[in-house]
Amino acid sequence: MTLYLLRRLGSLLVLLVVMTAVVYGIFYAIPADPAVLVCGKGCDGAQLAVVHHKLGLDQPVTTQYWHFLEGLVVGRDYSSGPDVTHCAAPCLGYSFQTDLPVLSLIAQRLPVSLSLTAGAVVLWTITGVSLGLVSALREKRLTDRLITVFVLGGLGTPVFVSGLLLLMVFCGWLQWLDFPVYVPLTEDPVAWAQNLILPWLTLTILQSAIFTRLTRTGMLETLSEDHIRTFRAYGLPERRVVGRHALRGALTPLISINAVEFGVVLVNAMLTETLFGLPGIGQLIVQSSNNVDLPVVAGLTLTAGLAVVLANTVADLLYAAVDRRVVLA
């Protein structure tokens, strides 16, 4: 167990170093100059040189990367003219574009993305598992076929299409809802939820299709296993056979699916945010990439990597708790 956590921590560190190095590498290899974007079109060579120096772009990429790592671990000092600002560890640096600390930029956006995904996770897990369960128990009947149509449709519809269609129906045609505007949960919980209904639904359609399919296959597979036959042969009521023994076997693997699917979820959340104009992490990624805002992109990569590893670790621990045969090492 301790060994497992140490191993995970080790691989996390390696992963983060590799990922951020790749980001620096990519940006270094590309001829685009962030200073030009910062400085604007009318900049002459001298002005550009000043900006270069200010952003640290006049240093070799390895030095830049080293400073970045240093900032992460011990913090670093930024000198802009006479003043020196200290950026405490973990320091992700300052945005080229806005001069704001990257960490606070991310922290500012995080609640939006969390609101979106947390609500949607609950929705799609419930929808997916129950539809999958019904589908498996009514195998090959009409209900099963209808659910299968939903699964195929859900899997085949990208979020930006389903989101637009939802907008058309609920904002345009029926006029039940306004175009979503993000309202923080702390400000007004009702407005928060109301504005997030459409984004949640958008994510849920796709993700619950995935979950429905997994639950259905898992359920059918478990139902055909030997120990299910045992309990039937011993006269256990069918609802106990299904509800206690089959369901447990079918749902346990879903724990790790949520973690494996994490990347997919992040991408779809990003698209959903962009579609609905929600000021979350996804929007920040698109903006900072377009602006060649290296510190922000590196910081976001780091955050995403951390989240992926964290999600996988939690899933592993949960799995081991649920299935005693699993030995973490």
Partner 1 sequence: MTEVVTEIGGPDVATSGPPARARQVLRTLRSDRPAMAGLVVTVLLILAAVFAPLLAALEGQDTTTFHTQLLDSARGGVPHGALGGVSADHWLGVEPTTGRDLFARALYGARISFTVAFGTLVVQLLLGVAIGLAAGFGGRVADATLGRLIDLSISFPQLMFAIALLAIVPQSFPRPVLLMLVIGLFNWGGTARLTRGQVLSLKTRDYVAAARLSGATPARIARREILPGALPQVLTYAAILLPGNMVSEAGLSFLGVGVHPPTSSWGQMLSTATTWFRADPMYVLVPGLSLLTAVLAFTLLADGIRAALDPKASLRGRR
Partner 2 sequence: MTGEGSGGVVLSVRDLTVEFGSGDGVLRAVDGVSFDLAAGSALGVVGESGSGKSTTALALLGLHRRTGARVTGRILLGGDGPEGVDVNALDDEAVRGVRGRRIAMIFQDPMSALDPYYRIGDQIAEVYRAHSGAGRKAAWARAVEVLDRVGIPDAARRARARPHEFSGGMRQRALIAMALACEPEILVADEPTSALDVTVQAQILDLLDGLRADTGMALLLVTHDLGVVSRSADEVLVMHRGRAVERGPVHEVLRAPAQPYTRSLLEAVPRLDAPRAARREPGEPLLTVTDLTREFRRPGRGLRRDAARAVDGVSLDVRRGETLGVVGESGSGKTTLVRMMVGLLAPTSGRIVFDGREITGLPEKRLRPIRRDLQMVFQDPMSSLNPRHTVGDSIADPLRVRGVPDGEARRTARELMERVGLDPARHDRYPHEFSGGQRQRMGIARALSLRPTLLVCDEPVSALDVSTQAQILELLRDVQEDYGLTIVFVSHDLAVIRQVSDRVAVLRGGELVELADVDELYESPRHEYTRTLLAAVPVLA
List residues near partner 2 by CB under 8 A: 3, 225-227, 229-238, 240, 244-245, 248-249, 252, 322-325, 327, 329
88 binds, among partner 1, partner 2, none (CB under 5 to 8 A by kind): none
* 3-state SS, residue 261: coil
Q: Is 168 in the site for partner 1 (CB under 8 A)?
A: yes
Helix (H, G, I), strand (E, B) or coil at 10: helix
Q: CB 11 → partner 2: shortest distance, Å?
A: 12
Residue 319 beta carbon to partner 2: minimum distance, rounded to whole angstroms = 12
Considering the rule CB under 8 A, would residue 249 count as an interface residue with partner 1?
no
If the CB atoms of residues 1 and 168 are measured against partner 2, the closer one turns out to be 1
Alpha helix segments (H runs only) across the chain: 2-29, 34-39, 45-55, 61-74, 102-137, 142-156, 159-167, 189-223, 226-233, 238-240, 247-260, 262-276, 281-290, 294-322
Q: Judge contact between 219 and 248, C-beta under 8 A.
A: no
**From the CB of residue 87, how many other CB atoms can be counted at a distance below 10 Å?**
17
Q: Does 165 bind partner 1 (CB under 8 A)?
A: yes
Two structure tokens written together for 207: 């993700």
Q: Minimum distance from CB of 125 to partner 2 (Å)?
A: 20
Nearer to partner 2, 86 or 140 (CB): 140
Residue 234: contacted member of partner 2, partner 1, none (CB under 5 to 8 Å, by partner type):
partner 2
Smallest gap from residue 197 Cβ to partner 2 (A): 37
Half-sphere exposure in the Cβ direction for 189 (13 Å, CA): 1
User: Quick one: which of 110, 137, 155, 328 contacts partner 1 (CB under 8 A)?
Assistant: 155
- Residue 216 touches which member of partner 2, partner 1, none, C-beta under 5-8 Å by kind: partner 1
- How would you class 275 by CB atoms within 10 Å of its CB: exposed for 0-12, middle for 13-18, buried for 19 or more? buried
Residue 157 Cα distances to 104, 165, 178, 265, 269, angstroms = 35, 10, 23, 14, 14
Residue 161 interacts with partner 1 (CB under 8 A)? yes
- Least Å distance, CB 138 to partner 2, is 13
Tokens of 300: 């976001």
Q: How many CB atoms lie within 10 A of CB 119?
A: 18
Residue ranges in 22-61 that form contacts with partner 1 under rule CB under 8 A: 22-23, 26-27, 30-32
Complex with partner 1: residue 53 or 145, whichever CB lies closer: 145
Distance, CA of 207 to CA of 202 (rounded, Å): 9
Q: Are 207 and 268 in contact (CB under 8 A)?
A: yes
**Other CB atoms within 10 A of residue 312 CB:** 18
Distance in Å, CB of 143 to partner 2, minimum: 17
Q: Which residues bind partner 1 (CB under 8 A)?
A: 11, 15, 22-23, 26-27, 30-32, 139, 148, 151-153, 155-158, 160-161, 164-165, 167-168, 171-173, 213, 216-217, 220, 259-260, 262-264, 266-267, 270-271, 274-275, 285-286, 289-290, 292, 297, 300-301, 304-305, 308, 312
